[in-house]
Structure 1
Amino acid sequence: MTSLRVAQLLVAPLLAASLTACLTACGGDPIDDYCTSLKDHQQELTDTLGEGGPSGLIAALPIFKDLERNAPDDIEKDWTRLTTVVGDLDAALEKAGVSADDFENGKPPEGVSQAEAKRIADAATAVSSKKTQQASVRVQQQARDVCHTSLTL
């Protein structure tokens, strides 16, 4: 037996043991971690989004960010899209000093400047855009197919 073959036979089990130890110590399977996080947040997310409209989305932003941090590579970009557009809406509302609940029939409350109203409207348009809807659909599909968890955004 050549020395290269002997080295391979000795090194392979060590690498396998190291990989197993790392998967355990380094946080395990990313998909499992994501699915666990998703299931842990499922009821809270359902309750928060049940508030409806932009207020529910904004209230869910911390949950979205946590799920984005745990998201596997194949849907991380979709979670980033969701957290970005909802975060931008939250920032626009905060900068104007109003909440989503302050709007009646899409009209801003008194004291909101035209520039602030435009920023808010642009951010709301991004939230309801086709790209955001597609990201939401992909995230929900991933939850069903991979995590076997119902998620409604």
Structure 2
Amino acid sequence: MTSLRMGVQLFVVSMLAMTLSSCGDPIDGYCESLKGHQEELTNTLGEGDTGGLIAALPIFEDLERNAPDDIKKDWKTLNTAISGLSDALDEAGVSADDFENGEPPEGISEAEAKKVADAATQVSSTKTQEASVRVQQQARDVCHTSLTL
């Protein structure tokens, strides 16, 4: 009976070790994903405007999916804010480039303009900006990669 129990324990331990080793280090996977998107992010965000931020959303969502637990919440905060702005612009049938000096383009209703303005305020909120800083710091400190949002 003891040898059977010992055999089962060894089997369970070896299976657990194989499972854990096959998962890989989540931080390494995140850093690889971040580095893999680096050039595309640089090109997309290079213009420094809201349109670039919205265009980068699919990349940000991929990084959120790959992010380790300690930074995932910050990616979620960023992506929720950017996605909200993108949705508000889509619903209004305009792009971020259509706004000049913060003024809505002709043909947009007051309600649509308010929704876009509220979403833009969320993107520039302290909460979102702090999340952005933490994401960038994590990229530098852990992944040794520059990420400028």
TM-score normalised by the chain length of structure 2: 0.91
CA drift of 1:19 comes to: 3.4
Runs of 4+ in 1 over 6 A off after TM superposition: none
Alignment pair present for 1:19 and 2:16: yes
d(CA) in 2 for partners of 1:100 and 1:31? 34
Q: State the SS of the aligned residue for 2:43.
A: helix
Deviates more, 1:113-122 or 1:46-55: 46-55
2:25 is the counterpart of 1:36: no
3-state SS in 1 of match to 2:106 = coil
- Structure 1: give runs of 5+ residues left out of the alignment: none
Please say if 1:58 is aligned against 2:37. no
Give the corresponding residue for 2:88.
Answer: 92
Q: Is the 8 A contact 1:58 1:90 kept in 2?
A: yes
Match of 1:137 in 2: 133
Alignment length, in residue pairs? 149
CA-atom RMSD in angstroms = 2.0
Letter in 1 for 2:61: K
Amino acid at match of 1:74: D
Whether the 8 Å CA contact 1:78–1:135 is kept in 2: the answer is yes
C-alpha contact (below 8 Å) 1:23/1:29 kept by paired residues = no
Write the deviation string for residues 83-138 of structure 1: whole angstroms up to 9, x where unpaired: 10000000000000000001111111111000000000000001011111100000
Percent identity among equivalent residues? Answer: 67
Alpha-carbon offset, residue 10 of structure 1? 7.2
Q: Find the counterpart in structure 1 of residue 117 from structure 2.
A: 121
Deviation at 1:52, TM superposition (A): 1.8
> Aligned to 2:71, what secondary structure does the other structure show?
helix
- In the TM superposition, residue 41 of structure 1 has moved relative to its aligned partner by 0.5
The structure-2 alpha-carbon separation of the partners of 1:142 and 1:111, relative to structure 1 and needing over 3 Å to count, comes to: same
Q: How far apart in 2 are the matches of 1:148 and 1:118?
A: 40
C-alpha deviations, 1:52-84, integer Å up to 9, x for none? Answer: 211010000000000000111101000000110
**Contact 1:93–1:120, Cα closer than 8 Å, also in 2:** yes
- Secondary structure, in 3 states, of the residue corresponding to 1:105? coil
